[in-house]
Chain A
Amino acid sequence: MAYKDMTALVVDDFATMRRIVRNILRDLEFKNILEAEDGTAALEVLKTNKVDLIVSDWNMPKMNGLDFLKQVRAAEQTKDIPFLMVTAEAQKENIIEAVKAKVSNYIVKPFTAATLGEKLAKILPND
């Protein structure tokens, strides 16, 4: 996999969940893995960092994943960043909303490292 030069941003209010995603991304050899605990904090991170991938949870306090996605897509500097939404089985229907708001892809919890890898392969440029 060719993620060696890439920076990923993991957004989730549950630290253990961030760590799970981080571990998988680390094994996929991402160069940099940033974290934020909700949409608001993530937008701050995006202001000062060049990010190649966003993996965000849907259900978060303050700003949920969908609103965060909309903000990312609305700003010129961030509108093309591949955005992977993490959702739960029960909230899967919501994904249609995210797809309309131009989410790159989504993944349902709990997922395996292999599944996340497949999803990333679909949305990240691999050369």
Chain B
Amino acid sequence: MQDVVEKLTNGVIDGPEDLMGMGECLNLLEQLEAASYFSGEAADLLPRIRQLLNRMILEESPDLQKDWQTVQGLIRELCPTGNGGPESSEDSVSHSDLEAIKDLIREPPAGRTDPVGPLPATSETAGEWEGGSEGGSRAPEGSTAEMELQDPELVRDFIEEAKEHLSSIELNILALETDPKDQDAINAIFRPFHSIKGVAGFLNLKDIHHLSHEVENLLDCARAGKILITDDAIDLILKSVDLLKTLIGVLEDSVAQGEPLPDNAEVVEDFLQRLSAFQDTPVAEEAPVRKLGEILVDRGVVEDETIHRALEDSRASGKKLGELLIGKGMVSSREVSSALREQRRSKESAASVRIDTHKLDNLVDMVGELVIAQSMVLQNSEVEAIKEQKFQKDTVQLRRITNELQRISMAMRMVPIKSTFQKMIRLVRDLSRKSGKEVTLEMKGEETEIDRNMVEEIYEPLVHMIRNSIDHGIESPEERKAAGKVLPGVIVISAEQKGGNIVIEIEDDGRGLNAEKIRSTAVQRGVISPDEPLDERGIYDLIFHPGFSTKDKITEVSGRGVGMDVVKKSVERLRGKIEISSHRGRGTRFQLKLPLTMAIIDGMIIQVGGQRYVVPTISMKESLRPGREAYQTVHRKGEAIKVRDTLMPLIRLHQLFGVEPKYRDPWEGLLLVVNEDNRSYCLQADEILGRQEVVIKSLGSSLRHVTGISGGAILGDGRVALILDVKGIVSHYEGNSR
């Protein structure tokens, strides 16, 4: 210890601004303190020197020079044997001065709320400002902050980055919900607010700065264990994320239009009052942390009793609960790992680059064109005549490369559906709180990939369906208890790729659809006539009718009858299908069948006269060539084909499009069976030429509304084929025949 004292005596600090020296000095003092080297009055000096150094370091010293001299004086008093540091002889402090200073620092150390004297000139005051609630906000004077605001690129960077960080908050908050004390999770949420606050300070974005600063404070308290993250706190944090998103949206607009940023202080102020009200209420109660055992019991994997016994064993043996349960064969390791996953959702990161979606769409378009151009070249009759072997080999190679290129460019547009599903977690959470129902969401197949353009399009329909499931499907806790059902209610959302389609299912274990009630409501609203014969499925489909709602009470959650008809329209716009199945008292399942991508369809190329058309494979059930006896004419309903005892209306495509067909009689041509609204129809064509994936081309505005046509495609030989809009054809037919 003597050498420590010696170092101290020789002076480790070069001057009042030598932070490294002060750090060294603090370390030495701590060593002496820890070793109880001094006793009596000398020992009392140590913390005082430390206090002085601390406030010098933190630039909270009212007079830096004076503090510096005091520190030197005190160190000399502490180690009187030495001859002092370099400045010691001149800067000596009189004994009375020293006493006065000692009195001064005997007062409680200057906290952040205590008044701090004016800062000396050495510390920077110009341009420094605080957006926090304390100290008021001093505007930066002639600072870079204002200069930076005029750097729109920097602001745009900030907007992009802030958005990204905000969505990361939403994901991490779910982890926090699983374990409210998870420090990593709190930190992961704290950091984005912190970073956004920091940059907003520079860019002089006061509202954003102010808001993120206050949320940061809240989280800081949580980090220090002063408050507990309750459901209410999470609600508040999520709300602040929403508000920040709005503020950033406003910023984005004003940057884009070159307008000054409107003042949102009022909105922010309003929210901050709620925030501070929350912070002021002491939270003493312990919020429940979901335990592994609880999750397993909730999932019905094991009995409560079993868990209790296993927990006792676990305490006795020191083994982990999961291991014990697996060891005893009570649960499978899969169940445990899935429960553990629920307990702690891990975040993932992947190396990636961000690309403008337009560029990506362009690339995919151009690759499509490339494939077509290649076909046109290779199918040119003169090129086809070339029999040279090297040329043949090279064309094979070229085809392989373009195919691969097409596959890759398509894959680039594919994103996992996970992020969309994850947004539903929050939705379910918000809705179940709002409606007072207990609901959990389970997800399956989140890794399934889907076209990114599609992702945005299916978001709304999914939201509608989940709202519906919670509002109409899942019963209130009392009803569930009365029906002997488990709590909470479960909504399962799953995705799966089946062939060229993606199938999304939303299944709840609620009360199921009430066919009689739907029927009577439909009659009452004039949707159907009272004597309309409808099977169960037909009745279920009525809920897709515009303006239909069986809920007697209009709730905040799903509102009035808008919903399912909108869902159906959106799904059809995506060239998808929606189906319902339901069991009374056991639940309802919606199944969405969507094409994998919007840019390409899997289609059958058919020939009608001299024209070729593409029929989307998703709308086709089968193709057949009927016998002559299957053809019937039905009174007032027109022509029909009997297929396996079902009469299907016949639609002659050549009549519809006005082309001269090869075969007039349906038993000579080929019939395509399509399904629309649970009814089958036969479309008459001449023949099927093959099945092909085609890149969809829009027909342009003038041809957008042609009946029965949804777009065009360029086939391998360079000729254009029209893509049939089966739904349009059927409704045109129904319109004419009624």
Contacts and interface: CB of A to CB of B under 8 A. Distances in A.
Interface of B is mostly: helix
Interface string B674-711: 00000000000000000000000000000000000000
A75 interface: no
B140 to A, nearest CB: 7
A16 B201 contact: no
B17 A122 contact: yes
Contacts of A74: none
A113 B142 CA distance: 11
B128 interface: yes
Interface stretch (B143-151, B266-274, B479-487): B143-151
Contact of B198 (A17, A19, A100, A101): A17
B457 to A, nearest CB: 30
A2 interface: no
Contact of B201 (A24, A95, A109, A114): A109
B154 interface: yes
A65 B388 CA distance: 67
Interface in B107-162: 124, 126-130, 132, 140, 143-145, 148, 151, 154, 157-158, 161-162
A14 B190 CA distance: 13
Contact of A13 (B17, B129, B191): B191
Contact of B199 (A16, A96, A104, A111): A16
Interface stretch (B20-28, B240-248, B620-628): B20-28
Interface string B17-40: 101101110110000000000000
A125 interface: no
A89 B26 contact: no
B199 A100 contact: no
Contact of A115 (B128, B197, B216): B128
Contact of B148 (A20, A88, A109): A20
Interface string A90-112: 10110110011111111011111
A89 B128 CA distance: 11
B132 A109 contact: no
A110 B139 CA distance: 12
B127 A96 contact: no
Interface in A111-127: 111-115, 118, 122
A55 B162 CA distance: 22
A104 B57 CA distance: 11
B23 A110 contact: no
Contacts of A109: 198, 201-202
A113 B191 CA distance: 24
A101 B22 CA distance: 11
B144 A112 contact: yes
Contacts of A95: 57-58
Contacts of A118: 124
A61 B191 contact: yes
Given A100-B27, A102-B20, A114 B191 contact: no
A89 B194 contact: no
Nearest to B201: A110
B237 to A, nearest CB: 17
B217 interface: yes
Contacts of A13: 191, 195
A41 interface: no
A108 B127 CA distance: 12
A88 B197 contact: yes
A116 B194 CA distance: 20
B639 interface: no
Interface string B206-240: 00000001001100100000000000000000000
Contacts of A104: 19-20
B23 A14 contact: no
B216 A96 contact: no
B31 to A, nearest CB: 11
Max chain A C-beta neighbours (<10 A), residue from B130, B157, B196? B157
Given A92-B58, A93-B58, A110-B140, 13 more contacts: A13-B191, A14-B195, A14-B198, A59-B190, A96-B57, A100-B26, A100-B27, A102-B24, A110-B145, A111-B128, A113-B143, A115-B126, A118-B124
29 contacts: A14-B195, A14-B198, A15-B157, A16-B161, A17-B202, A19-B154, A20-B154, A23-B148, A59-B190, A59-B195, A61-B188, A90-B220, A93-B58, A95-B58, A96-B26, A99-B20, A99-B57, A103-B19, A103-B23, A109-B202, A110-B129, A110-B198, A110-B201, A111-B127, A111-B128, A112-B140, A114-B127, A114-B144, A115-B128
